[in-house]
Chain A
Amino acid sequence: MRIIRILTIVLFPFYILSCSEESEIEKFVVGEEFTNTNVRIIQIDTFSVELSTYKLDSIVTSGSNRLLFGQYTDASLGKVTATPYFELSANSYSISDEAILDSVALILKYDQYFYSDTTQVMHMRFHQLTERVKPDETDFYNTSNLNFAEVPIATKTFYPEPHRDSLHVSIPFNYGNTLFNFISDNVNSTDEFIQEYKGFTLQVDSADNGSVIGFSNQSGSSYLRFFYRLSDDDEDTEYHYDLFITASSDVPKYFNRIQSDVTGLALSTLTDQDYNLASENSNHESYFQSGIGYLTRMNFPSIRKLYDIEGEGTVLNAVLRLKPKSLSYNDNLKLRDTLSLFYVDQNNNVTDQVYNSLGEVTAKIVKNTDGYEDTYYEIPVLEYIDLKLIQAPLIDDALIMYHNDYNKSLDRIIFNDMFENNGAKLILTYAIYDAN
């Protein structure tokens, strides 16, 4: 019995000690020279990056919640033009017989989007369509087109002020009065109204070179407004009646036609979506332009040469740095801060968005302003490199990137390739390890 008591006394402290084990200390370096460390980490930035440009056949532009209007010319990407087409209608077509029209105005609310030079004067023409705003199938595209009456209803010369509230386009009284009377006399339903007034479009003067701006399509923001009084009213109360773009879930009532003229440029060879214009053939540049549909295709044709490095190894990190061409961007020609990444197959069809466990993988802009300007997109490509190293059969796929406003903006980015200004650089962090 005494033994047990002694044992308890003797062993208990050990039991406590054995549970506490070694205390954690941040740094233990004595004996460092003995380590036959099995890992070597190297950084490699000499793998080739292939950039090319392709053009989407079309982009759906109906349902974008923006009327995109304007025009500018770019040395590398040609002249781009955005013109909205829309149907106007009302909830009710009953107007008092006593109504006397005062004036009519098209009010377009700026939604703050702009691209390129807003200090240039713009010439807007308001035309009536001669075709219904009705898609062949379900959507309108940036390539869609509708005929309109050659003579404009109204014209407006203005300097865009995208941070102001709205743009007012006065409508000639005669045109407005005819329309107003037509509604009050003949129209009981939208169908009846659009039999006569099929729709409208905003056109830009072909010589304009300024900016592209965005207007809201919302019924309470942009509308054709009729200001009137009632003849039997003692006081001079002013009333108004609005026509607007109806929000419709199934049939689109508006779209933006977005076109570019690339005559004489390398881009003019891009006639089909599965054709790629290598950066070598376009001035060591590759292009991104939303609205029109130019996308930069990025791939790493020699990545499997990693296998030539002796020893077992693995890529720890892979970052692609893409530099926008210097002086190709400024406060008007803005660069997006982030772009989403997607995989495309050999036919340039998007197969997947690039995701990791935290969600969407994005390209982010990095701006170094100390001393000299150094701005680039940093694109995490580890997932793609992992895939390419084991892909069988090897597919001529690639990464592309774009943003959510791709169908309702006219931004552009010009990238330099690896031969120009160190424009494209794949930076691999590679670990070589011994399995011993």
Chain B
Amino acid sequence: MTQIKRTSITTIFALIGLSFTLYSQTNDLTSSPYSLFGLGVESNSNVGRASGMGFTGISLDANQELNLFNSASFASIPEKKFIFDVGFYTQIENLNNGDENELRFVTSFSNLAMAFNANGKYGIGLSLLPATNVGYSLIGLQSHVEGSSNETYSTDITGSGGLNDVRLDYARPISKNFNLGLRFSYLFGKIEETENALTSTSLLTLETKNYYSGVKFGLGAQYTFWDKNTIGIVLESPSSLSANRDFKTTRTTFTAVTVVDETTEERISNFKLPFKFGLGFNTYYKKFLFAFDYKRNFWDATNQSDEIGEYVDQNIFSFGAEYTKNATSYRYWNRINFRAGFNYDSGNLEIDGKGINSKAVSLGIGFPLDQKGSKINFSYNYKKTGSLEGILIQDHINTININLSLTDFWFEKRKYD
């Protein structure tokens, strides 16, 4: 027993190490031009179960797998249980502006989370996940050199980076059916943009690195009634991320590289994150679990605008279902989870008065790895963002998510010495 336990602890730490290695290599890689705006596109990263259920989960528990949507769910981790969750995704993106189609391919880390409930009185979770992703490359944009007869220059703009979210969740049961959770989030990240303007004789490079950091707080509650129904509510404080910028302009000619301009750690205006509100409901019906979420992010009140787009209040509706024949069956196939979901996001941006909404469907499957609740989850998600109206583009995103949720029982006192 001791031997096995030591092995699983080693495994978990090895996993954490490997995850961070991967994380540092893959964090940059979303590829939507929509990530030009603000601090990037909001990350789809989540635990495996949520990815298969249309990113629905405000009312879901964390009995078997973690739920990052509601901090109150950490109170439902069974006593002495330790859950570790790590995931990755691969994304194939098809961009279309009406005239042209482009295919982009991305692989990224999706989350790293661990949580435990030591004595049944409270659950604690620590998680790291990308909050936003920036990744765009606009390459070979041709412009005319003003004042010249026919000279042109070509511009490449690439952006990368994003915000990371390190969260500490603490939740405890207030009564038998009522759990309350608190969340502390530290957001930090770097967003880089490099613009290259290439003329026939020289190259001008503008490199901007914006560093953001800030904190926000969350509050979550879940209430279970009539045994099989739960409602959940989450509130998230608005937040103002402080920002610093490094800026460097370099001129490269055939003969020399000259730094024209360089500033470091210049204070720039804060980026405001909105107050967020979410409501969820789930119910068990026979062997099915049905879950509904509604979220609203109050971007309007942040009074921010981007150069091309406006921030508008964002509404997200999602629905998810899970089918499990018999979670406690001795037959392996009976314990498999089948999931499906749908997600509609009105988007937080309006360009030329048109919202950039997205619709997504997802399918997922969870295979048990052992008797304790460890699982490997696969999910497929198809999402369509934007439209072909005006200057907007349409983004078809196919995502395959692989996620591992490992469970062990710790803190057990040995009965016999």
Contacts and interface: CB of A to CB of B under 8 A. Distances in A.
A433 interface: yes
Contact of B140 (A26, A38, A41, A386): A26
B301 interface: no
A316 interface: yes
A316 B199 contact: yes
Which one of B34, B249, B263, B374 has the greatest number of beta carbons of chain A within 10 Å?
B249
Contact of B36 (A26, A28, A31, A429): A31
Contact of B308 (A3, A21, A22, A34): A34
Interface in B183-233: 195, 197, 199, 201-202, 204, 206, 208
Contacts of A312: 249, 261
Given A4-B11, A31-B95, A32-B141, 13 more contacts: A7-B404, A28-B102, A30-B393, A34-B37, A34-B351, A38-B195, A40-B146, A41-B143, A41-B145, A41-B153, A358-B255, A431-B197, A435-B249
Contact of A29 (B8, B100, B308): B100
Interface string B225-269: 000000000000000000000010101011110101101000000
Contacts of A44: 147
A37 B157 contact: yes
Interface string B4-43: 0001100100110010001001100101111011000000
B155 A39 contact: yes
A29 B11 contact: no
A42 B146 contact: yes
Contacts of A248: none
A314 interface: yes
Given A316-B199, A316-B202, A22 B104 contact: yes
A6 B100 CA distance: 41
A31 B107 contact: no
Contacts of A358: 254-255
Contacts of B14: 4
B136 interface: yes
> Which 7 A-B residue pairs are closest in the complex by CB-CB distance?
A31-B33, A33-B391, A356-B255, A43-B148, A43-B147, A36-B307, A30-B95
Contacts of A19: 25
Interface in A25-67: 25-45
A45 B151 CA distance: 14
A75 to B, nearest CB: 35
B134 interface: no
Contacts of A4: 7, 11, 14
A431 B258 CA distance: 14
A17 interface: yes
B29 A21 contact: yes
Interface residues of B, number: 74
B145 A43 contact: yes
Given A36-B307, A45-B147, A31 B97 contact: yes
Contacts of A28: 102, 104, 137-140
A435 B263 contact: yes
A433 B249 contact: yes
A327 interface: no
Interface in B105-151: 105-107, 136-141, 143, 145-148, 151
Nearest to A355: B255
Contact of B251 (A36, A314, A357): A314
B292 to A, nearest CB: 31
A15 interface: yes
A14 B374 CA distance: 20
Interface of A: 1-4, 6-7, 10-11, 14-15, 17-19, 21-23, 25-45, 312, 314, 316-317, 356-358, 382, 386, 429, 431, 433, 435-436
A374 B368 CA distance: 81
Contacts of A29: 97, 100, 102, 138-141
B97 A30 contact: yes
Nearest to A15: B22
A42 B148 CA distance: 7
A32 B100 CA distance: 11
B251 to A, nearest CB: 6
A4 B14 CA distance: 9
19 contacts: A3-B11, A14-B107, A22-B29, A22-B31, A28-B139, A29-B138, A29-B141, A30-B33, A34-B36, A35-B138, A37-B141, A37-B155, A37-B195, A39-B206, A40-B146, A314-B260, A316-B201, A317-B253, A429-B199
A232 B87 CA distance: 114
A18 B251 CA distance: 32
B90 A17 contact: yes
B145 A429 contact: yes
A359 to B, nearest CB: 9
A1 B7 contact: yes
A4 B95 CA distance: 38
B402 interface: yes
Nearest to B94: A30
Nearest to B141: A32
B102 to A, nearest CB: 5
Contacts of B33: 30-31, 34
B88 interface: yes
Nearest to A358: B255
Contacts of A1: 7
A25 B104 CA distance: 9
A226 B351 CA distance: 97
Contact of B138 (A2, A15, A17, A31): A31
A42 B139 contact: no
A317 B199 contact: yes
B369 A6 contact: yes
B77 interface: no
B406 A30 contact: no
